[in-house]
Amino acid sequence: MTGRHGDPERGADLELRAVRGIGEIRPGDDLPAIVADAVSELEPRDGDIVVVTSKVVSKAEGRIRPAAEREQAITEESVRLVASRAHPGGITRIVEHRSGLVLAAAGVDASNTDDGTILLLPLDSDASAHAIAERLRSRFGAAIGVIVSDTLGRAWRVGQTDVAIGAAGIRVLEPVSVDANGRPLLVTAPAIADEIAGAAELVAGKADAVPVVLVRGLGRHVAGLDEPGAARLVRASGDDMFRLGSDEAYRAGREAGRIDALAEAGAAHAG
Amino acid sequence: MTGRHGDPERGADLELRAVRGIGEIRPGDDLPAIVADAVSELEPRDGDIVVVTSKVVSKAEGRIRPAAEREQAITEESVRLVASRAHPGGITRIVEHRSGLVLAAAGVDASNTDDGTILLLPLDSDASAHAIAERLRSRFGAAIGVIVSDTLGRAWRVGQTDVAIGAAGIRVLEPVSVDANGRPLLVTAPAIADEIAGAAELVAGKADAVPVVLVRGLGRHVAGLDEPGAARLVRASGDDMFRLGSDEAYRAGREAGRIDALAEAGAAHAG
């Protein structure tokens, strides 16, 4: 970095690099070692963050099932149904995953998998991120953060973005205290880890099979390995104004209203 | 860029730079000219994308109101209430903004504003992005994209991310056709413009008063100025499984169920 002003050659404030050379990942592969080997050419240093797509984590963990078991796998991976909708290709189920994530089809994925197979989300994405971060820190002797990313849909907006479903060694939420005028910003806490995962998706692309991206320039968000993981970014369903789809909530209310009214009418009639 | 492999000095795949030197923006300021002046030190080139926070767009447009009119302003900026929740500081209203965006308090903002004032969202963020993009393209003779960003909360996840509420000269959604195995990816369309806005937030930060960020390395997403804007990323409420808060939908259903049941009971009693 040669200067902060007036110099187009000064270093970027934030840089992302695709990590090349990661081949097809197979069940049982030592993913932390593979990531460390591949990232070494970029000379990882203090403050770097490495984003790994959940897909390769799942493959290394052998989270593979026959495609015919897709509906069963979605059910097994879910703790409750949030919303569902029929469409020409079947029924889309938005569920709460056992991790607390709310997402379509419990994250069960049939893209970029071997034919006839599907891929489930990692068993514990924060633990997977932690294992990779430990390996990178020990191998390179540097404070490196790790994010495990996945592609999620959103309420209210078209298209999907990558977010952090696992994290280690970074502060996933920015602790914001005051605005530029010194007033407290109570409501706004940027979900740093999600924004990093989304930025990495811009580099990884969807069909390029680049599952690892190095992010340089966010050292202020890198912290100890005891930092809470991406589970911190999951809003508890009891605290969520959108914990249930609008149609599902309406139907539940309608049934409750009928039962109450009929009970009242019965009581009035009997009385 | 000196090489794609084995060279830590090769150019980054994606670079972001904070654009310095933009002072306080006042109503009536020529924001496209101010952005063009400030960004010139970075020698904008084909494929660059410039992200501008909505806050400075709103300030230039004079979208300022007395803080005492906050509730009224939220109502005026909204077309319907999506959900609301009481908390110790008052009632949070999640609304559908007249632009179609679903967001808290209709985007009415009291942070980083002059004391005693609030800031409304720009009148038409896509038009504002278009005006800035036109100016940048004419000034630098290069195909440059522009995003107007704002900070939005999400269902199901803690924290907020910056997304694109205005865009010009970029493809806001990536048209994905096949996965790396040649199979169609029907469901997945990355919301590129939202991921870019989130990445820019990582650089702009919250309290640093850096309202403009240059993004370099995404030229494949830069397109003509006739490309649809960020309105393309707003899901129509009729098509949205979460168009109404769970409590609100339940209450509406309960009322409908009561009315139906009482009508039925009345008919049965009369019959």
Query: Do B222 and B136 belong to one domain?
Result: yes
Contact (CB<8Å) A183/B244: no
Residue of A nearest to B269 (CA): A269
* Together in a domain, A167 and A231: yes
Q: Which residue of A has its CA nearest to B83?
A: A241
Question: What mean pLDDT is predicted for residues A43-49?
Answer: 98
ipTM of model over 0.85: yes
Q: Are A255 and B252 in contact (CB under 8 A)?
A: no
Mean pLDDT of chain A: 90
Are B250 and B199 found together in one domain? no
Could you tell me the pTM of the whole model? 0.93
Does A137 lie in the same domain as A29?
Answer: yes
Q: Is residue A219 part of a domain?
A: yes
Non-local (6+) Cβ contacts of A212 within 8 A are A18, A19, A22, A35, A38, A39, A50, A51, A52, A53, A56, A204
Backbone angles phi, psi at A80, to 5 degrees: -165, 160
Specify the number of domains making up chain A.
2
pLDDT in tens, B18-58: 999 999 999 999 999 999 999 999 999 999 999 999 999 99
pLDDT of residue A1: 37
In a domain, B85, yes or no: no
Range of the structural domain that residue B22 is part of: 13-63+122-240
Which letter does DSSP use for residue B53 in this model? Answer: E
- Both B133 and B165 in one domain: the answer is yes
Among A25-29, A111-115, B146-150, B242-246, whose mean pLDDT is lowest? A111-115
Instruction: Give me the mean pLDDT over the A181-207 stretch.
Output: 81
Q: Which of A153-167, A176-190, B116-130 shows the lowest mean pLDDT across its residues?
A: A176-190
A215 shares its domain with A126? yes
pLDDT at A165 over 60: yes
Residue A263 lies in a domain: yes
Q: Residues A250, A206: one domain?
A: no
Q: Would B111 be classed as within a structural domain? A: no
Q: What end-to-end distance do the CA atoms of chain A give, in Å?
A: 85
Residues B133, B20, single domain; the answer is yes
Name the CA dihedral angle for A218, A222, A228, A229, rounded to a multiple of 10 degrees: 60
Is A212 near chain B, with CB under 8 Å?
A: no
B271 pLDDT tier (thresholds 50, 70, 90): low
Cβ within 8 Å, pair B251-A246: no
The rounded percent of chain A whose pLDDT value lies above 90 is 77
Domain containing residue B134: CATH number: 3.30.1330.100
pLDDT at B90: 85
Q: Please determine, for residue A4, whether its predicted confidence score (pLDDT) is greater than 60.
A: no
Name the strand (E) or helix (H) holding B14. Answer: strand B14-18
Q: Are B228 and B248 in a shared domain?
A: no
Instruction: Find out whether B16 and B213 touch, Cβ atoms under 8 Å.
Output: yes
The DSSP H or E segment spanning B213 is strand B212-216
Q: Tell me whether residue A189 is exposed, middle or buried, using C-beta atoms within 10 angstroms of its C-beta: 0 to 12, 13 to 18, 19 or more.
A: middle
In this structure, are B161 and B232 located in the same domain?
yes
Q: Is a pLDDT exceeding 60 seen at residue A268?
A: yes
Indicate whether B73 belongs to any domain. Answer: no
Distance CA A72, CA A195 (A): 32
DSSP B143: -
In a domain, A117, yes or no: no
In-domain check, residue A167: yes
Same domain, A128 and A44: yes
Cβ of B83 within 8 Å of Cβ of A207? The answer is no
* Any domain includes B113: no
Range 1-40 of A in CB contact (< 8 A) with B: 4-8, 10, 12-18, 20-21
Contacts of A162 in chain B (CB under 8 A): 190, 195
Q: Which of A94-103, B178-187, B213-222 has the lowest mean pLDDT?
A: B178-187
Task: Report the pLDDT value the prediction gives residue B19, as an integer from 0 to 100.
Answer: 96
Three-class secondary structure assignment of chain A: CCCCCCCCCCCCCEEEEECCCCCCCCCCCCHHHHHHHHHHHHCCCCCCEEEEEHHHHHHHCCCEEEHHHHHHHHHHHEEEEEEEEEECCEEEEEEEECCCCEEEHHHCECCCCCCCEEECCCCCHHHHHHHHHHHHHHHHCCCCEEEEEEEEECCCECCEEEEEEEEECECCCCCCCECCCCCECCCCCECHHHHHHHHHHHHHCCCCCCCEEEEECCHHHECCCCCCCHHHHECCHHHCCCCCCHHHHHHHHHHHHHHHHHHHHHHHHHC
pLDDT band of residue B6 (cuts 50, 70, 90) is very low
- CA B133 vs. chain centroid, Å, equals 17
* Pair B43, A8: CB distance under 8 Å: yes
Cβ-nearest to B257 among A7, A202, A256: A256
With b for 16 or more beta-carbon neighbours within 10 A and e for fewer, the A138-155 pattern comes to ebbebbbbbbbbbbbbbb
Are B45 and B157 within one domain? yes
Name B239's Cβ contacts closer than 8 Å, sequence gap at least 6.
Answer: none
